[in-house]
Amino acid sequence: MSSDKLDELAIENFREYLRIPSVQPNVNYDDCVIFIKKQAKSLDLPVKVFEIFPGKPIVVITWEGFEPEKPSILLNGHMDVVPVYLDQWKYPPFAAHMDEKGDIYGRGSQDMKSVSIQYIESIRRLKLNGIRLKRTIHISFVPDEEIGGKDGMEAFVATQDFKNLDIGFALDEGIPYPTESFILFYGERSKWDVWIHCSGQPGHGSLMSENNSGEKFYKVIDRFMKFRDAEKKKLQDPKIKPGDVTSVNLTMVKGGIQINVIPQELSVGFDIRIAPDVDHKKFENMIKSWCEEAGQDVSYQILTKNRPVENTKLDENNIFWVAFKNACDDANLELEPIICPGGTDARYVRKVGIPALGFTPANNTSLLLHDNNERLNKDVFLRGIDIYMKIIPAVANA
């Protein structure tokens, strides 16, 4: 098959995958599984479907290496995408429209269906070139990453089926970047979802009662937001990246029954991403002290409490990092290693002791993850396949 035909096929497969509306919440993954099985057949590779939870399939395509006893390589991607505001899109978000500039519009075009297709198409080309790799390659397609991965990768890494894959190193998603550099994630912050509940004496809205839930509510919010300001100021130093600080964002407020009634309880929710160098016990004690300072009957509840996970080492002792870096150097790719400011499934892989890197081969590209008019240029997409054709053999032969 000519290179032009391979490019056409890659773009066609990318757009077909984008047209599957695997949008949260309550995703039906059936069409994704059908599509992935079709790709496996076109590669003449075996595919397995694991289902830990009903309706939450984990699909794995396997390309066996000629030294399969060596720990294998995992190329991971998630099938689900986030919701859309339909009226804000230039083109329908699940039509995979390609405009005259070659920009392919679609929810998931950056996050991260492009990467999954780049895995597939790079392996297609490697096989057509008669290349064999030492280590076995597994391409995984997992559900529910966009809602935390609880029934997806988090559950999968705890199973015997995952252990049987004998993973030695994993690649997962990164982000596009608007400069010449390529972003590389080697660790992540820990996500905490925290609710603060402030109770007090209800009463008439004209009274200046002492045990007032609103006063306590204000004191709590003030503490959190002053901490947020201090962390935000750290970012004025260009050497400090978003993943290096602890982010705090007020995201939800509950309480009150009527404008002239002092509420018995007011509650506020915060999305917190704790930097890797922060002591979790001390951080929780700080929250506890803020609640105590606010007054009696103020309590906190941590709904999501990710434990700290060790970062992937970027040193000579990590043979996979060395191989990855050498491949990028040979391709003249400028890497910018950072802590991921959000969250990806790679944290669950690292949690079980497997080194993992997050990488999306798209530079000079506007960052549009979860945004309106998410899109990726076809030339950037195709170049990404070429990049993976260098990286995958490098890490598989490490």
**Helix, strand, coil percentages for the chain (3-state, nearest 5):** 35, 25, 40
State percent of the chain over pLDDT 70: 100
Is the per-residue pLDDT at 331 higher than 90? yes
- Confidence grade of residue 358 (pLDDT, cut at 50, 70, 90): very high
Q: Which of 111, 121, 144, 145 is catalytic?
A: 145
Axis-axis angle for helices 3-18, 378-396 (nearest 10):
100
pLDDT at 294: 97
pLDDT at 1: 86
Active site residue 154: no
Measure the CA–CA gap between 133 and 68, rounded to whole angstroms: 9
Average pLDDT of every residue of the chain:
97
- Mean pLDDT over 48-56 rounds to 98
Domains of the chain: 3-188+311-396 (3.40.630.10), 190-275+277-305 (3.30.70.360)
Summarize pLDDT for 65-113 with one digit per residue, the tens: 999 999 999 999 999 999 999 999 999 999 999 999 999 999 999 999 9
Residue whose tokens read 């941590």: 302
Q: Which of 80, 121, 172, 374 is catalytic?
A: 80
pLDDT at 228: 98
- Mean pLDDT over 356-372 rounds to 98
- Is residue 272 within 8 A of residue 370, CB to CB? The reply is no
- Confidence grade of residue 209 (pLDDT, cut at 50, 70, 90): confident
Active site residue 80: yes
Is the per-residue pLDDT at 182 higher than 90? yes
| Cα 339-312-282 angle, rounded to 5 deg | 60
Nearest CA to 151 out of 323, 248, 39, 26 is that of 26
Summarize pLDDT for 233-277 with one digit per residue, the tens: 999 999 999 999 999 999 999 999 999 999 999 999 999 999 999
3-state secondary structure at position 331: coil
Summarize pLDDT for 19-28 with one digit per residue, the tens: 999 999 999 9
**Tokens matching residue 255:** 């309480």
- Confidence grade of residue 362 (pLDDT, cut at 50, 70, 90): very high
Instruction: Calculate the alpha carbon distances from 253 to 14, 23, 193 in Å.
Output: 40, 26, 13
Residues facing residue 249 across a β-bridge: 271
Number of other residues whose CB lies within 10 A of the CB of residue 384:
25
